[in-house]
Structure 1
């Protein structure tokens, strides 16, 4: 009888330990950084392991699909930069930034993340955004870069070759000054193809190599 009681006690203790461990694991998974709401959206990816290709939400249903490819280089403009995070977000086809909410934090729905491979390559499957509806602005995709061991920073936006505002002589943005970030759309089999290479730190005066 004593052996039975001892056995039952042991079983209860084991069960309790498992429950506590499970609760602790759950709390760790649910834990959010203190600066979660204020931090850059580049850190809000859900995948544990990013790769160098990502698809923007809603891509399949969009009319003007686009595949953006490119290589990210170190500051020397020659060496491919590996393990670099690149985050983009954009307006929808009507020029509206569709906002969602997760864990009480608002975010732009049409967004994506990549981490460059050993060759510095990246690919985004997205769509051509509309002109921002609340201002006389260019059609653009907004990027943020995060290098290993360095703080994140914004780089110049992706622009589009066929944007009427970009081709307007009265525009404040001069085509010659932004030529390296203009996407020239080449349509193949129902999908636009465009390329933009990025040199780390090129647009930052205080960049530390």
Structure 2
């Protein structure tokens, strides 16, 4: 009887703790590190001015119909530095990627990031990538497929074929040079409601 009571107490304790931990998982996402009222539809990544391969990534985020602009959608990006390494920093006990940025779409669904071309991590044969996370109003955040670069030497023909077969080729950014800035267009269509 004593073992049964102990098991019941442990079960109750575990049941009380588990939902709390499950509710805190989304708060751990870096998309929540900046207050929503601080966001605009344009942002600049740290160290932008000191980088050589500067990029302006601009686009429109559309509702799942692919036509209606999505207002007040938060788009968060983080990326490695020019050597392909993530510059990790500390704020108290939390660690974060230094090269990160947030935007919130305007009424026309438009957004703009000023950033730089990330490097390849050749130790692990990684592509040049920007890692986006999206958050629609009153919905959970979710990750998008990484933004890739058309001129990346590691983006082989075989890799391009796999992307064309299994995912969206618009994730490969085609850069155009305008004065001292590379320009890329990346429109995004939100996932359909589940």
**Do Structure 1 and Structure 2 share a fold, with TM-score over 0.5?**
yes
Structure 2 CA distance for aligned equivalents of residues 173 and 114 of structure 1? 31
Residue 49 of structure 1 deviates from its aligned partner by: 2.4
Distance 1:154 1:37, change over 3 A: closer
2:179 maps to 1:183:
no
* 1:192 corresponds to: 182
Distance 1:81 1:103, change over 3 A: same
**Is 1:95–1:131's contact at 8 Å kept on the other side of the alignment?**
yes
RMSD: 2.1
Secondary structure of the structure 1 residue equivalent to 2:89 = strand
Residue 176 of structure 1 deviates from its aligned partner by: 2.8
State which of 8, 26, 32 in structure 2 corresponds to 1:43: 32
- TM-score normalised according to structure 2 size: 0.81
* 2:193 corresponds to: 208
- TM-score normalised according to structure 1 size: 0.75
Distance 1:59 1:45, change over 3 A: same
Q: Give 4+ residue runs of structure 1 displaced > 6 Å after superposition.
A: none
Structure 2 CA distance for aligned equivalents of residues 208 and 84 of structure 1? 15
Secondary structure of the structure 2 residue equivalent to 1:95 = coil
Structure 1 CA distance for aligned equivalents of residues 133 and 159 of structure 2? 25
Instruction: Trace 1:93-112 onto structure 2 (pairs within 5 A).
Output: 93-112=82-101
The structure whose residues are more often helix, as a share, is 2
2:105 maps to 1:116:
yes
Q: For structure 1, list consecutive stretches of 5 or more residues without a partner in the other structure.
A: 1-33, 202-206
Secondary structure of the structure 1 residue equivalent to 2:49 = helix
Q: For structure 2, list consecutive stretches of 5 or more residues without a partner in the other structure.
A: 1-22
State which of 78, 83, 94 in structure 1 corresponds to 2:67: 78
Secondary structure of the structure 1 residue equivalent to 2:133 = strand
Larger Rg: 1
Residue 195 of structure 1 deviates from its aligned partner by: 0.5
Structure 2 CA distance for aligned equivalents of residues 88 and 147 of structure 1? 15
Structure 2 CA distance for aligned equivalents of residues 195 and 132 of structure 1? 24
2:162 maps to 1:174:
yes
When the two structures are aligned, how many residues end up with a matched partner? 170
